[in-house]
Amino acid sequence: QGAQIVDVRQDRNGVSVTVEYVDGGNMRELRAEYLIAADGGHSKVRECLGIGYEGRGAFSNSVTIYFTADLSPWVGNNAWSVIYVNNPVLRGFFRLNRSAQAGFLAINTLGDPKLDPQAAANAAADVSEHRLIELVRAGVGNPDLAVRIDGHTRWHATANVAQEFQDKRIFIAGDAAHLMPPNGGFGGNTGIHDAHNLAWKLALVIRGHASANLLDSYAMERKPVARFTVEQAFSRYVARTAPWLESSQQPEALVDDLHIELGYLYNSPIGIHADPRTTLGIPGSRAPHVWLTRAGKRLSTIDLTGHFLLLAGAEGRSWVDAARGASERFGGLPLEAYCIGVDFDDAEGRFPQAYGISSSGASLVRPDGFVAWRCEQSAHDATGVLNDALSRSLGHHPVPAAA
Q: What is the DSSP string of 293-332?
A: EETTEEEEGGGG-SSEEEEE-TT-HHHHHHHHHHHHHTTS
8 A C-beta contact, residue 372 and residue 366: yes
Q: Cα(31)–Cα(189) distance, rounded to whole angstroms?
A: 29
Task: Determine which one of 21, 84, 338, 355 is catalytic.
Answer: 84
Q: Cα(108)–Cα(149) distance, rounded to whole angstroms?
A: 18
8 A C-beta contact, residue 124 and residue 109: no
Give the alpha-carbon dihedral of 41, 164, 214, 173, to 10 degrees: 0
Q: Cα(296)–Cα(130) distance, rounded to whole angstroms?
A: 63
Residue 296, sorted as left (phi over 0), alpha (psi -120 to 50) or beta, turns out to be left
Known catalytic residue at 84: yes
Do β-strands 90-96 and 102-110 pair in parallel, antiparallel, or remain unpaired? antiparallel
8 A C-beta contact, residue 163 and residue 49: no
Q: Cα(90)–Cα(107) distance, rounded to whole angstroms?
A: 7
Looking at the annotation, which residues are catalytic?
84
